[in-house]
Amino acid sequence: MRRTPLLLLLPTFVLLAALAVWGVQEARWWGPLYCIEQAGQVWGLASVPSGAVPTCPQSRSYRREVREGFARVEQYTLPGWQPRALLPAFEAAGFLPEGGVEDDGNEFAVFLRRGGEQVQYVADRQPDRTTLITLSGRPH
């Protein structure tokens, strides 16, 4: 007789465990850093450099595209004008610049390619004199 109440509680525990797992997986999409695939890593290649702060586009459409797997994006803010700060991570991982590099003192942009993978790397000087680096590409 004592086992009956425990057996009745088992489905409840299983349901609660499933909800907890689902909640952990879904939390990423509601958080401010939804676009960062691996915390503490730039594009999953190397550690985030000192002084770089991860951020994500606040646009609902961008959030939806990333969540649905149509796009991949990561953003980092750095103090001062540091347009090339994240390039060493890509170069060390075998990415090569494709085409010309544009740098007009306010924006730096380059496409990086490794095999069939391409990443657009854009650094913009912000009004507060920080650098916003946006990395974008297709999910792998």
Residue 62 · residue 73 · CB < 8 Å: yes
User: What secondary structure does DSSP assign to 13-36, as a single string?
Assistant: HHHHHHHHHHHHHHHHHHSTTTT-
Per-residue pLDDT, 120: 96
Question: When comparing pLDDT for 17 and 66, which is higher?
Answer: 66
With bands split at pLDDT 50, 70 and 90, how would you rate the model's confidence at 30?
Answer: confident
Q: Determine if the pTM surpasses 0.95.
A: no
Domain extents in the chain: 1-30, 33-137
